[in-house]
Amino acid sequence: MTMAEKTRLRLDRALAQIGLGTRKEVRALIKKGRVAVDGEIITDHGFILTNPGEAAVTLDDMLLTLRKHTHLMLNKPAGYVSAHKDNRFPVILELIAPELRYRSLTSVGRLDRDTTGLILMTTDGELAHRLMSPKYQIVKTYHIIYAGRPFSEADREQFRLGIMLEDKTVCLPAELEILDESDVLLSIKEGKYHQVKRMLEATGRKVTYLSRLSIGELTLDPELDIGEYRLLTEEEISGLYASVKLELEEY
């Protein structure tokens, strides 16, 4: 594939990719003459943008930013697995509209089937890789409800020093914020298998509810109901790229 071919992009696809609507909805907008490229109204949905990075694409005179990658946040419901396919349980991808999942959306880390909350999905593999890499120590914060003896100041110190799991692995320092006697927030910088549950187990407690609230600076939008998702804002996207020292690519 030559460079010239690589950057050619169908107008309807470009607009669906930034979340303007389904492929069908986007085509209807184009047909109605609401979309212009470089000042010229385009009514053919198969129109090809030969240089999407340079084109000024507008919807009703509003200038749109075309992005090479798609990034979204999902409020994961319990019962769904963080995988592309599963024989027994529904997968998180089923919650995403087809026009956003035609390219491979990768989830940044996994949540257990019974865990709810923030899942970040992106088509940028390098961004996903860096956000999960121990090198960047991205902090993930979880809301936990647990069974067992209420946490104390001494426990907080223990988490700060590094909890030793039952298999003798020592965790990186973590921040425990006590909300009440069975409710805490825990911020960790790594993503070992069942890490939060195992950390609490190592202190003799059992997680009864687990929900992820944030990944780095990205916080779960409180407007998102369980099972809902939305595309990230420009500000959220640039914050994520900056946090892992990655240049933000457009076209």
Residues that bind ligand URA (CB under 6 A): 111-112, 115, 194-197, 210
Q: Least distance in Å: CB of 180 to ligand URA? A: 21
CA–CA distance, 74 with 83 (Å, rounded to integer) = 14
- Residue 70 or 115: the one with the smaller Cβ distance to ligand URA is 115
Q: How far is CA 16 from CA 13, 30, 79, 102, 138, in A?
A: 5, 12, 28, 11, 30
**CA–CA gap between residue 22 and residue 1 (Å, rounded):** 28
- List alpha helices for the chain, DSSP H: 3-6, 11-17, 23-31, 98-101, 125-132, 153-161, 195-202, 234-243
- Of 112, 155, 183, 221, the catalytic one is 112
180 belongs to the catalytic site: no
Tokens 């933000």 belong to: 248
- Of 102 and 209, which has the nearer Cβ to ligand URA? 209
Cβ neighbours for 61, distance < 8 A, ≥ 6 positions apart: 36
CB of 197 to ligand URA, least distance (A): 4
- Least distance in angstroms from the C-beta of 111 to ligand URA: 4
Q: In terms of Cα–Cα distance, which of 53, 10, 13, 12 is closest to 30? A: 12
At its nearest, how many Å lie between ligand URA and the CB of residue 9?
36
Partner residues linked to 211 by β-bridges: 116, 143
Alpha-carbon span 117 to 33, nearest angstrom: 39
Which residues touch 205 (CB under 8 Å, ≥6 apart)? 146, 147, 148, 149, 151
Shorter beta-carbon distance to ligand URA: residue 31 or 194: 194
Cβ proximity to ligand URA, 114 vs 249, nearer residue: 114
Select 111 or 163, whichever has its Cβ closest to ligand URA: 111
Strand order in the sheet with 40-41: 40-41, 35-37, 57-59, 62-63
Active site residues: 112
